[in-house]
């Protein structure tokens, strides 16, 4: 009969003549950090130490008996074998941060966020308001492009949402003010696709001047139509740029390199590049330009800024291009100007309403002007592809995904379009007993005093606060914080009257801390 195999490090039997004189204790096989043991010293290989550790992690001010026993329990747990079954304490369970990326956002961005430890879902389509309300509550962050609309209704249905990333230039698809009131930071990439849009405009100017689209369609229909009438070089022509920001100014340089004369209109004085010249009014620009191109945001002042009156002010036989925002142009008026031959051609990349996904759907349901536009000559219609290049999407994906990562991980709000911009240096791996307070609150007197009173038992290593309208954001790093104190600090700050959202960011060697609604561990 075979003998039972003894466990490693144990004797197979015990006798009265050879008694056990000590019980060896393994060296913390569960890997729990020494800093979490509490007031007691860790056990040695020959037993439990009876001497208190001078570097106690339980503050004398708290003096809680519960905290002491909690530290002792954590200490004893550390030296149980890994195979010993333990029921996980409910308050120590922590889910991963979940990020949703819609509208086929660049896969490099998704991969970057996954590498940072986030749980990422990548979806190729936009979601409707109903889908966002039903499905978005599973996520802490969402990335969108221009089709997905984050409305007040969507925001109110998702109290867990921390941050929105707009992987594009514009942010008009998000209710920025309401997002700020709910403590949700919004980031975008205002410059990354500037070159792609500027190059598209140059290509459209040349295509319109040479009627390339019409000739191509005729050839596909089997028609040979070699003509030169009303086909022009762009050298020596005047381009009028409405909005001389990053796209407009890059376009200015490109157009000038083609030998074009550049004039531009902007609501503020801006120094020109090259030999470009700023004009005093939109009306003056419309009357002088052979090509008019828009590069303005969608704000109340720009909605329908180009309509029947403005088209009538343009030179007969001139060209119109809109790669900015769909609502800044009255497309019915544009159709009329093209049908009457007042304009020789146009290019449109953006529309007041756009289909939610690729495929059929660009029809009269988006506006009664769509069938009219589809039937006029020398008109280039593109499906909002101004920034749709590999280079632009990689740059946008990198910029916005990094902004999401920094905000979720470190609380950094630099670059936010609706939020105070606040930053502190990162918590390092040496800051084992530091926590970072990220406190979004209403911009009212007395908040800083309240927060500092709550943190008064600790050393505030660094602190910065700023406000934007009715919203203020405070970041503070405090040291000498025991794990058992975190819950109390969080609850005290969250209970202040002006609180909108509070997060505590900590780094304690991977230990999961209690997870209230917005308590996160780095």
DSSP secondary structure string for all residues of 182-240: TT-EEE--SSTTHHHHHHHHHHHHHHHHTTHHHHHHHHHTT------TT----TT-EEE
DSSP designation for 442? E
User: What are 101-148's pLDDT values in tens digits?
Assistant: 999 999 999 999 999 999 999 999 999 999 999 999 999 999 999 889
- Which of 469, 465, 422, 418 minimizes the C-alpha distance to 446? 465
- Catalytic residue at 195? no
Q: Which of 182, 195, 246, 384 is catalytic?
A: 384
CA 264 from chain centre, in angstroms, equals 32
Q: What are the tokens at 271?
A: 């120094």
Spot the catalytic one: 57, 122, 295, 325: 325
Segments of the chain with pLDDT less than 70: 1-95, 427-432, 507-522
Structure tokens at 473: 């954001």
Residue of 131, 284, 354, 421 with catalytic role: 354
What CA–CA distances, in Å, run from 200 to 149, 196, 206?
Answer: 26, 6, 10
Q: 314 near 287, Cβ under 8 Å?
A: yes
Which segments within 252-351 are labelled E, that is strand? 261-265, 277-278, 291-294, 318-322, 343-348
Tokens, residue 24: 């060896």
In whole angstroms, give the CA distance from residue 406 to residue 427.
12
The pLDDT assigned to 25 comes to 55
Query: Helices 194-209 and 390-410 meet at what angle, rounded to 10?
Result: 160
Residue 86 has what DSSP assignment? -
Return the structure tokens found at 199.
Answer: 């190059």
Q: What is the pLDDT of residue 345?
A: 98
156 contacts 134 by C-beta, under 8 angstroms: no
Contacts of 429 (CB under 8 A, 6+ apart): 507
The per-type count for the chain, helices as H runs and strands as E runs, is 15, 17
The phi and psi torsions of 68 (rounded to 5 degrees) equal: -60, -50
Q: Is 59 a catalytic residue?
A: no
d(CA 412, CA 428): 15
- Where does residue 79 fall: left (phi above 0), alpha (psi -120 to 50 degrees), or beta otherwise? alpha
Determine the Cα–Cα distance for residues 357 and 465; give it in Å rounded to an integer. 41
Residue 282: predicted pLDDT: 98
- How far is it, in rounded angstroms, from Cα 403 to Cα 275? 36
From 352, 300, 295, 306, select the one nearest 149 (Cα to Cα).
352
Question: What's the DSSP call for residue 493?
Answer: H
If you compute the radius of gyration of the chain from its CA atoms, what whole number of angstroms results? Answer: 32
Gap between the Cα atoms of 255 and 276, Å rounded: 10
Q: Which of 155, 198, 132, 176 is nearest to 356 (CA)?
A: 132
Nearest residue to 345 via CA among 393, 290, 305, 283: 290
**Pairing label, strands 163-166, 185-187:** parallel
**Residue 354 known to be catalytic:** yes
pTM of the model: 0.73
- Burial class of residue 441, CB neighbours in 10 A (0-12, 13-18, 19+): buried
Separation of alpha carbons 132 and 118, rounded Å: 20
């Amino acid at each position: 009969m075979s003998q039972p195999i003894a466990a490693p490090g144990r004797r197979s039997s015990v006798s009265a003549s050879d008694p056990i004189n000590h019980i060896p204790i393994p060296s913390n096989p569960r890997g729990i950090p020494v800093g979490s043991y509490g007031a007691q010293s860790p056990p040695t290989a020959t037993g439990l130490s009876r001497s208190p550790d001078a570097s106690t992690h339980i503050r004398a001010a708290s003096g809680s008996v519960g905290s002491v026993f909690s530290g002792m329990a954590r200490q004893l747990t550390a030296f149980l074998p890994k195979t010993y079954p333990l029921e996980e304490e409910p308050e120590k369970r922590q889910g991963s941060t979940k990020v949703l990326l819609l509208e086929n956002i660049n896969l490099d961005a998704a991969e970057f966020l996954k590498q940072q430890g986030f749980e990422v879902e990548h979806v190729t389509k936009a979601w409707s308001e109903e889908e966002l309300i039903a499905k978005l509550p599973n996520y802490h962050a969402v990335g969108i492009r221009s089709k997905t609309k984050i409305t007040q209704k969507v925001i109110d249905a998702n109290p867990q949402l921390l941050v929105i990333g707009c992987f594009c230039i514009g942010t008009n698809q998000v209710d920025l003010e309401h997002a700020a009131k709910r403590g949700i930071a919004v980031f975008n990439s205002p410059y990354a696709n500037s070159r792609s849009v500027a190059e598209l405009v140059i290509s459209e100017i040349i295509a319109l001047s040479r009627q390339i689209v019409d000739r191509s369609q005729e050839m596909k229909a089997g028609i040979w139509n070699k003509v030169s009438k009303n086909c022009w070089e762009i050298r020596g022509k005047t381009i009028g740029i409405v909005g001389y920001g990053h796209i407009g100014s890059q376009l200015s340089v490109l157009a000038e390199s083609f030998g074009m004369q550049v004039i531009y209109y902007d609501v503020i004085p801006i120094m020109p590049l090259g030999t470009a010249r700023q004009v005093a009014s939109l009306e003056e620009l419309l009357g002088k330009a052979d090509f008019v191109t828009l590069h303005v945001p969608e704000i109340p002042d720009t909605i329908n800024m180009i309509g029947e009156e403005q088209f009538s002010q343009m030179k007969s036989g001139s060209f119109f291009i809109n790669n900015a925002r769909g609502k800044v142009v009255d497309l019915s008026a544009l159709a009329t100007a093209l049908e009457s031959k007042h304009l020789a051609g146009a290019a449109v990349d953006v529309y007041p309403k756009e289909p939610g996904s690729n495929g059929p759907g660009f029809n009269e349901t988006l506006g009664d002007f769509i069938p009219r536009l589809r039937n006029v000559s020398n008109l280039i219609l593109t499906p909002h592809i101004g920034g749709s290049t590999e280079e632009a999407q990689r740059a946008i994906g990198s910029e916005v995904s990094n902004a999401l990562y920094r905000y979720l991980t470190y609380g950094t709000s630099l670059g936010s379009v609706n939020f105070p911009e606040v930053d502190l240096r990162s918590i390092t791996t040496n800051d084992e007993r530091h926590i970072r307070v990220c406190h979004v609150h209403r911009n009212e007197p007395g908040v800083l005093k309240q927060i500092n009173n709550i943190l008064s038992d600790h050393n505030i290593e660094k602190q910065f606060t700023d406000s934007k309208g009715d919203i203020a954001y405070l970041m503070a790093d405090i040291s000498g914080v025991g794990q058992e104190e975190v819950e109390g600090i969080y609850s005290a700050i969250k209970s202040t009257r002006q609180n909108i959202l509070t997060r505590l960011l900590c780094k304690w060697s991977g230990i999961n801390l209690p997870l209230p609604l917005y308590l996160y561990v780095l």
